[in-house]
């Protein structure tokens, strides 16, 4: 390789200063139709920016984003403080940081539909909170304020809009915090003494005004009539797009599939209201008295004239006819220097030149995952589908082996292919999502690089730059290098490439449970991401745990080859919690990463490399009186897996079994989380479930929500509420300390509620029949006691239990007391037997 010239950086810095680069991020290459080109042309003459601010994915008003992007043609952004890491997942088992990766991509898919740009802060969604004070116990106020100021200074919005008010009407404490920080940042972003370390990269910026995107009830509670505040018809129809902004919003919002937010379009007028918070309080529209024309840029008058000429001469059947005008506008914009609007509009006009010329470009590989040090081929292609005389001067890819100097005319409809050899450096970073490269501290991601803060995702590891010329004008178009494949069902699919360690190590489970000193087998699967790898696999445990053998030599001789290796873990005598990690040693280097692939049809494939470690839990469980358990899966949880780890036989019950099967074969049946919300057949199954209980069975129902409940889950009246206890360390009072459910087979004490994560529980019943026994009482600070977290009743010969305690979080987290209490629940029918 030392005879070859490996080119790490971009081409001539001087050349780059003269051009703008269009970059298309990982997704299917975008082609614009005639109507979209028309809108993009008109947008060139609009120099206004609006930033919407909320707390989570799915907080955003997608109708407002669509209205601003496609109706008003503003540059529009959405800042979500979190990536939704603490939410639920209705389509899979990703939780915590993996759910954050999934929901980030859902947001980006939504933005590709509604046209807005996505931003984030360093905040981690740690679950529901009831006040901003509680939220700021977990979030660093100053660091988050810095992040909001950074995004404002970088995006330069004229107008800020908050989803929630800063006075608490948004309910969730994180919602309120998003508004508080937005109002504080509005005041500080133009102050050079605030976060001066940012000014190395950005200038100060002062938005003109800030609004709350209010709702009628919220205004009425303040004694404000909707007739007196700014309003906008978000249901307005856009004839060029053939949809109203609320219809576009429904398609965008439906990308939040992990949250079950599929939406139907609204096809009539819909007015939203905006209460001014700071700035000019008398305005009747969001941008009243704000100049959004080229007049705000010195030298912009001539550019405006050129754009108007292009709009007037635009022919939807021959869009390339206006490219010469766009080239003139491009040169004029380039001459403005490195200002904000020259950068923004320079990229927009380049995108239009590409669209009007029908230029298609791509750069693809024949595999999706590579490793540092790999050398491989990238196939690039470009086609000009117009009569314009473009010349392809060269193709450049970072880390290419040799540069290529071309001078090929791009004849109409003729694909030009250029093959490129790429060599990744040995120290190339793996493609870990940047916000989880370092371990978080509390509920804050650690992102040392100021320039990465706020970014939605990583830059692609490889990018192909196509150098074009037409007349005396030079252009550069670019696209990420992607893996392309043809799926027999979905057709052509593009996915981002990933850079992996040479070998990854995945444990079979995330948690291993030991209920005695009996040794347990642990299996580790190694996957090879190179042509050949060999080395040593070692498991690392604390001294009071033992592992046999100490290490195993391995050899993997083929790309993507997998081999499984078995170790024996011997736990200590006493209860203990610890971590078990896997280390892979190859050629003197140690690797300790697993690999997780997040693959759903609505997002690009995401590859994440968590640390190769799992939890070990040694706990003493009382007498095992239950053997076989039936489980009715709801929205998705991993509880069956962890019950199997305890030695129970767990069957996932099918429709046939629930309709015609013999349920008496089961010692207990469990309803998964939200099963009464997500499975419409529960209305049919309920009679059979209650008959099972009548005849001596035990049924445990976990949390559901009142919204979308298909049938009342209990044998007696039970009304669900929004009551929850979000403080995971809230004191728990035993209302019936001698109740068998709290004493068999495990004696439950306050100690068993130590170490819980995120919350105690959620959506407790607040009204129930007198036949139920309420066993526990708890509450968040400053609130009234809640005693609906665990309800028990005898129903004829059997036992029915309803619980809103968050076992679905606590069992995967390895909380010992949660396991003991859950075993008590499923053993309730065998007390005294």
- For residue 337 the two structure tokens come to 């220097």
State how far the Cα of 423 lies from the Cα of 340, in Å rounded to an integer.
35
Residue 693 phi/psi, 5° resolution?
A: -65, -45
Question: Strand pairing of 49-54 and 75-80?
Answer: parallel
576 CB neighbour count, 10 Å cutoff: 16
* 543 alpha-carbon distance from chain centroid: 38
423 beta partners = 375
DSSP, res 426: T
Using N-to-C axis directions, what is the helix angle for 340-357 and 323-334, rounded to 10°? Answer: 160
> 360 and 382 in contact (C-beta within 8 Å)?
yes
- For residue 391 the two structure tokens come to 């010349």
DSSP, res 779: -
- For residue 96 the two structure tokens come to 């915590």
Q: Cis before residue 711, ω within 30 degrees of 0?
A: no
Torsion sign (Cα): 494, 498, 503, 509: negative
Per-residue pLDDT reduced to its tens digit, 484-502 = 999 899 999 999 999 999 9
DSSP, res 265: P
State how far the Cα of 463 lies from the Cα of 422, in Å rounded to an integer.
11
579 beta partners = 615
Give the list of residues 6+ apart from residue 291 with CB closer than 8 angstroms, or none: 47
pLDDT of residue 226: 86
Q: For Cα atoms 744, 745, 749, give the angle at the middle one, nearest 5 degrees.
A: 65
User: Which ranges of the chain have pLDDT less than 70?
Assistant: 1-29, 832-833
Per-residue pLDDT reduced to its tens digit, 357-366 = 999 999 999 9
Looking up tokens 């593009």 gives 494
Give the list of residues 6+ apart from residue 540 with CB closer than 8 angstroms, or none: 580, 581, 582, 583
How many residues can be counted in the chain? Answer: 833
- For residue 689 the two structure tokens come to 């479930």
Using N-to-C axis directions, what is the helix angle for 323-334 and 300-313, rounded to 10°? Answer: 170
Task: Give me the DSSP letters along 16-77.
Answer: HHH--EEE--SSSPP---HHHHHHHHHHTT---EEEEEESSTT-S-HHHHHIIIIIS--EEE
pLDDT of residue 29: 66
Distances (CA, A) of 502 to 49, 376, 434, 436: 45, 15, 20, 20
pLDDT of residue 110: 96
Task: Give the residue among 698, 536, 690 at the shortest CA–CA distance from 631.
Answer: 698
* 507 alpha-carbon distance from chain centroid: 24
* 577 alpha-carbon distance from chain centroid: 30
Task: Give the residue among 81, 157, 76 at the shortest CA–CA distance from 111.
Answer: 76
Question: If 0-12 CB within 10 Å is exposed, 13-18 middle and 19+ buried, where does residue 518 land?
Answer: exposed
> 559 and 464 in contact (C-beta within 8 Å)?
no
Torsion sign (Cα): 446, 449, 450, 455: negative
> 591 and 537 in contact (C-beta within 8 Å)?
no
State how far the Cα of 646 lies from the Cα of 827, in Å rounded to an integer.
13
> 367 and 393 in contact (C-beta within 8 Å)?
no
């Amino acid at each position: 390789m030392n005879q070859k010239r490996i080119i790490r950086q971009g081409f001539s810095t001087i050349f780059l200063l003269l051009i703008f680069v269009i970059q298309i991020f990982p997704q299917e290459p975008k082609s614009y139709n005639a109507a979209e080109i028309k809108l993009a042309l008109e947008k060139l003459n609009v120099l206004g920016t609006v930033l919407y601010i909320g707390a989570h994915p799915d907080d955003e008003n997608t109708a407002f984003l669509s209205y601003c992007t496609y109706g008003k043609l503003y540059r529009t952004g959405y800042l979500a403080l979190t990536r939704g890491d603490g939410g639920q997942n209705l389509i899979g088992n990703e939780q915590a940081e993996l759910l954050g990766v999934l929901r980030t991509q859902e947001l980006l898919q939504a933005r590709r539909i509604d046209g807005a740009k996505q931003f984030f802060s360093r905040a981690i969604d740690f679950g529901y909170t009831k006040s901003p004070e509680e939220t700021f116990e977990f979030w660093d106020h100053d660091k988050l304020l810095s992040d909001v100021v950074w995004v404002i200074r970088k995006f330069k919005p004229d107008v800020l809009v908050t989803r929630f008010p800063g006075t608490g009407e948004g309910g969730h404490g994180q919602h309120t915090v998003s508004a508080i920080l937005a109002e504080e940042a509005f005041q500080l972003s133009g102050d050079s003494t605030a976060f001066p370390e940012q000014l190395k990269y950005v200038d100060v910026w002062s938005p003109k005004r800030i609004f709350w995107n209010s709702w009628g009830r919220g205004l009425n509670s303040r004694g404000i009539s909707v007739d007196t505040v700014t309003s906008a018809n978000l249901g307005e129809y856009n004839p060029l797009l053939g949809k109203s902004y609320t219809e576009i919003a429904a398609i965008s919002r439906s990308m939040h599939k992990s949250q079950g937010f599929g939406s139907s379009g609204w096809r009539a007028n819909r007015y939203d209201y905006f209460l001014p918070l700071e700035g000019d309080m008398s305005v009747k529209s969001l941008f009243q008295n704000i100049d959004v024309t080229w007049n705000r840029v010195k030298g912009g008058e001539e550019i405006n004239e050129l754009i108007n000429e292009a709009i007037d001469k635009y022919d939807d059947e021959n869009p390339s006819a206006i490219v010469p005008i766009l080239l003139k506008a491009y040169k004029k914009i380039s001459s403005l220097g490195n200002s904000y609007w020259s950068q923004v509009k320079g990229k927009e006009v380049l995108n239009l030149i590409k669209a009007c010329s029908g230029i298609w470009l791509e750069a693809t590989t024949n595999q999706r995952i590579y490793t540092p040090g790999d050398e491989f081929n990238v196939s690039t292609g470009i086609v000009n589908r117009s009569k314009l005389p473009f010349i392809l001067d060269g193709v450049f890819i970072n880390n290419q082996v040799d540069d290529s100097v071309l001078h090929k005319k791009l004849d109409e409809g003729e694909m030009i292919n250029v093959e490129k050899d790429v060599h990744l450096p040995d120290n190339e970073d793996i493609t870990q999502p940047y916000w989880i490269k370092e371990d978080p501290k509390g509920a804050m991601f650690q992102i040392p690089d100021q320039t990465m803060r706020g970014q939605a995702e990583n830059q692609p590891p490889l990018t192909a730059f196509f150098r074009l010329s037409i007349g005396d004008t030079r252009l550069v178009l670019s696209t990420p290098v992607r893996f392309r494949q043809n799926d027999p069902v979905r057709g052509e699919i593009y996915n981002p490439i990933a850079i992996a360690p040479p070998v990854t190590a995945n444990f079979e489970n995330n948690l291993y449970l030991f209920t005695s000193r009996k040794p347990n087998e642990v299996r580790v699967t190694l996957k090879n991401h190179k042509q050949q790898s060999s080395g040593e696999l070692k498991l690392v445990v604390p001294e009071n745990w033992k592992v046999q053998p100490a290490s195993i030599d391995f050899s993997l001789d083929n790309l993507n080859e997998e081999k499984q290796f078995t170790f024996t873990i011997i736990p200590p005598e006493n209860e203990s919690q610890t971590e078990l990690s896997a280390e892979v040693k190859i050629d003197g280097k140690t690797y300790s990463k697993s690999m997780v692939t997040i693959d759903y049809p609505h997002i690009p494939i995401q590859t994440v490399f968590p640390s190769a470690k799992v939890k070990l839990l040694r706990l003493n469980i009382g007498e095992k009186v239950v053997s076989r358990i039936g489980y009715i899966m709801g929205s998705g949880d991993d509880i069956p897996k962890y019950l199997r780890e305890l030695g129970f036989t767990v069957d996932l019950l099918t429709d046939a079994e629930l309709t015609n099967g013999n349920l008496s074969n089961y010692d207990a049946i469990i309803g998964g989380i939200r099963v009464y919300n997500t499975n419409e057949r529960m209305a049919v199954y309920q009679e059979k479930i209650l008959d099972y209980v009548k005849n001596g069975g035990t049924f445990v129902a976990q949390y559901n929500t009142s919204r979308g409940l298909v049938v009342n889950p209990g044998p007696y009246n039970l009304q669900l509420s929004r009551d929850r206890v979000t403080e995971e360390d809230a004191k728990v009072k035993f209302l019936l300390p001698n109740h068998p459910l709290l004493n068999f087979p495990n004696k439950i004490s306050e100690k068993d509620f130590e170490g819980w994560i995120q919350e105690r529980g959620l959506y407790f019943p607040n009204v129930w029949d007198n036949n139920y026994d309420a066993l526990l009482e708890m509450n968040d600070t400053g609130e009234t006691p809640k005693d609906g977290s665990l309800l028990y009743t005898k129903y004829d010969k059997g036992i029915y239990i309803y619980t809103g305690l968050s076992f679905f979080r606590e069992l995967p987290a390895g909380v010992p007391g949660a396991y003991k209490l859950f075993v008590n629940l499923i053993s309730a029918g065998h007390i005294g037997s």
